Structures are given as structure tokens and as C-alpha cells.
Amino acid sequence: MPTSPPPQPTTAEPNATAPVKRVRARRGEGDRLREEILDAAEALLVESADAEAVSIRAISQIVGVTAPSIYRHFVDKDALVLAVCERAYDRFGTYLDEGAKKGNGPLEEIMGRAIAYLEFALDNPGQYRVLFMTPGNKKPDSDLSATPDATFSEAKGLVMMIDSVERAIAVGQIKPLASAAEMSIMLWTQVHGIASLRIAQPEMPWPTADAQIQLMFTTLANGMCANEAVTAMDHGPKLAKTRTRTRS
């Protein structure tokens, strides 16, 4: 049974208009604000994909609450951003899984995953940016060194991809040009390349995303070079002097 709204203090209208006039959460409903804060933070992240333009004050204003009340739900700003990322990351993972489920057979799973990846990234450029285009502390530092192999298994999507590739190789759908892990990473970097360049340089006259991913598939399927040209490609290390840049 809905309780009657509390009388407004002194301001003009008692109920509607004005900046929303939040109804204060009930005793057990503390988590409601928490979710609203996350929503607002994510919204800010999306519209101004612009770095950390997201501020505690802006978030609190959207939610219709004062800045300090955020600290009742998150110990500090980092914790908030982390929570936003985790939520987005989870949704991303779920979306990829759904994409994979659409196909039957490992090759179609892989394609489904790649397509879902690109869809999610282009539909959620702000989230994609913080998750995959920005260096640094998405996860608390302690976690990183905690489990040595966790770095990759944390990237759950990649693990699933490796699994699909292994099966595709076993079934004979994919040539084992390298280990399943290396090939999965290649697929990841390729689709990430499309997504991230489009996001970072939206003003460029790109082909449609569809054309791009189709060309990627076609090239993977057919190979790009005439046979007599292939020999040109086989000589030792390609990169000179480059510092490794892994585990800086």
C-alpha cells in the first residue's frame, strides 16, 4: 500500500516539477541509491566518453542527492569507478556468451562472439573505452599479483574464445597456424582494432562496421596474398629494438 508522500517543506509545488525531488529510501532500501549512483556514473561515462570527466558532484547531481551521500555507498571514487566497470564487464561477458550461443559449431561460435564484441563496443563506446582503451587500475592492484595466471583467466571472454578455437582446430575448421591462445589473441586484437579506432576517431569516414568485419572474416578465410607473394613474408624477427612493453 503506497504511503502518502511527505509534505514538502516550503518550496512552490508539493509534488511534481522541480529537479525530481527524490523520495528518500526506506530502511532496508539503501541499495536502491547505490544502483542509481552506478547508473548515473555509467551514463556520464558514456556521453562524455571523455576520460574521467565523471565527477562525484556530477553524479550526485544527476541522482538528485548531495555529494557526500555517495560516500555512504562507496568508500571513494576509485571504488565507484571500479564498480561501474565490473558491472559493465559482466554485461559485456554475458552479451558475448549470447552471441556465441547463436552459432552452432565452433567456427560459428567464434564469429558470433566477434560480432557480439563489435556490437557491444560500438553500442557502449564509453564503457568500452574505460575497459579496453585506457591503461591502468581497472582492478585493485592487489588482485593483479594475487593469482599469477589470473591476468588472462580474468579476461573470461578470451578463455572462452580459446576454447572455441581449440575445438575448431580439432574439428578441422581452422588451420593451426599458431597455438589456440595465440590465434584467439589475434582474433581479439583484430576486432578490438576495428572497435577502438572507430571509437577513438569517430570523425573518420569509415566503411560500415559490417563491411569491416566481413572483410576481416573474408581475409581470414581466404588469405589475402597471391601465392607467389607469400614467400616474401618469411624472414626472422620483424621488429627492431622495440622495448617489450609487456609487464612494464
Partner DNA sequence: TGTACATCAGTGAACGCGCGTTCACTGATGTAC
Residue of 58, 209, 216, 220 that binds DNA (CB under 7 A): 58
Residue 45 near residue 55, CB atoms below 8 Å: no
Q: Which does 69 bind (CB under 5 to 8 A by kind): DNA, its own copies, none?
A: DNA
> What backbone torsions phi and psi does residue 55 show, to the nearest 5 degrees?
-125, 150
Q: Is 46 in the site for its own copies (CB under 8 A)?
A: no
Q: Which does 11 bind (CB under 5 to 8 A by kind): its own copies, DNA, none?
A: none
Amino acid at 138: K
Beta carbon nearer to DNA, 51 or 159 = 51
Q: What angle do CA 53, 48, 246 make, to 5 degrees?
A: 70
Residue of 23, 35, 152, 170 that binds its own copies (CB under 8 A): 152
Q: Is 113 in the site for its own copies (CB under 8 A)?
A: no
Residue of 57, 94, 147, 193 that binds DNA (CB under 7 A): 57
- Which of 111, 117, 25 is CA-nearest to residue 64? 25
Binding positions for its own copies, 173-232, rule CB under 8 A: 173-175, 177-178, 182-183, 185-186, 188-194, 196-226, 228-230, 232
Residue 2 near residue 20, CB atoms below 8 Å: no
Selected range binding its own copies among 25-33, 64-72, 74-82, 111-119, rule: CB under 8 A:
111-119
User: Minimum distance between the CB of residue 211 and its own copies, rounded to whole angstroms?
Assistant: 7
Distance CA 142, CA 154 (A): 14
Beta carbon nearer to DNA, 47 or 210 = 47
Residue found under cell 571500479: 82
Residue 13 is placed in which grid cell? 509545488
Residue 37 near residue 74, CB atoms below 8 Å: yes
Residue 48, CA distances (Å) to 45, 58, 206 in order = 6, 12, 21
Residues near DNA (CB under 7 A): 3, 6, 22, 24-30, 32-33, 54-58, 65-69, 71-72, 76-78
